[in-house]
Amino acid sequence: MTLTLERAIQIAPSIGAIAPANHVSSEYRFMPTHKFIGAFMEAGWEISDAKQIKARKRDPMFSKHMVSLQHPDFGFTNNELGTIRPRLTVINSHDWSSRLQVLLGMFRLICTNGMVIETGKFTGLNVRHDADLGVTLEDISTRFKGEASRLIETSNRWRAIDLSPVNRMDFVNAAGRLRWGDEYVPNTTPLDISRRIQDTGHDLWNTFNRVQENLMRGGAQFNGNRRARAISNIDAERDINTQLWNLAEDFSNRLN
């Protein structure tokens, strides 16, 4: 499902800000998100998701927000990995609480109704608020093409690595500590349970995707009788996804 820019602004009003917050200094260079996203849309990108933080002490018109985009011409399908679509996620604010960031990620299309599962975020680009928009878009597009190829190669490499029961449990426990830290009790959280047949298998790729979904979407019991909530915080979603991807890469380098 794609969103119009108008709908994205309804979901996350700070996307449509036309000026920065009053408290920022004259040194602040305003980079309106709607203009940045609009330039991508003119180049064929489509908005797939939008959200912003619930700001208690900040004006919601200027608070941190996130917009995800994908391009209909980017992606591939094969029997082992399914349908993969690289995606860009833009994070910004207009109150000096966040730089303009562009994160390169990858999503899996897992069923015919268009549901997607994010497989990770990685390789962030920080964009200066006084950057030239045309140059920035060209740089991001060039970087994106190279990163998309690298991510697909990584997915294929992980698919070829079979994990032993001990290695899978080590991965699950390490992933649990990423989210719950010292509260996590090893071997108590069923993060390795598959929610669909496409995710079965003991290879690193499928194990990573099972754990990622259970870790991020919530519902999994941990530490005996507590049930995890879905992660909705923008910073936590970015950080845990990145750390989980790096964890899988560490396993890949150690076991390959």
Q: What pLDDT score does 79 carry?
A: 59
Q: pLDDT (tens digit, 9 = 90+) per residue, 108-125? A: 655 444 445 555 555 556
CA distance 96 to 17: 13
Whole-number mean pLDDT of the chain? 78
Boundaries of every domain in the chain: 5-135, 165-255
Q: What is the mean pLDDT of residues 14-38?
A: 83
Cβ neighbours for 126, distance < 8 A, ≥ 6 positions apart: 99, 100, 101
Q: pLDDT (tens digit, 9 = 90+) per residue, 172-204? A: 999 989 888 888 877 766 788 877 776 778 999
Q: What percent of the chain has pLDDT over 70?
A: 75
Q: Where is 193: in which H helix or E strand? A: none
pTM: predicted TM-score of the whole model, two decimal places: 0.72
Q: What pLDDT score does 112 carry?
A: 44
Label residue 163 by pLDDT band (50, 70, 90): very high
Query: Where is pLDDT greater, at 131 or 250?
Result: 250
Report the DSSP beta bridge partners of residue 3.
Answer: 47
Q: pLDDT (tens digit, 9 = 90+) per residue, 203-213? A: 998 898 888 88
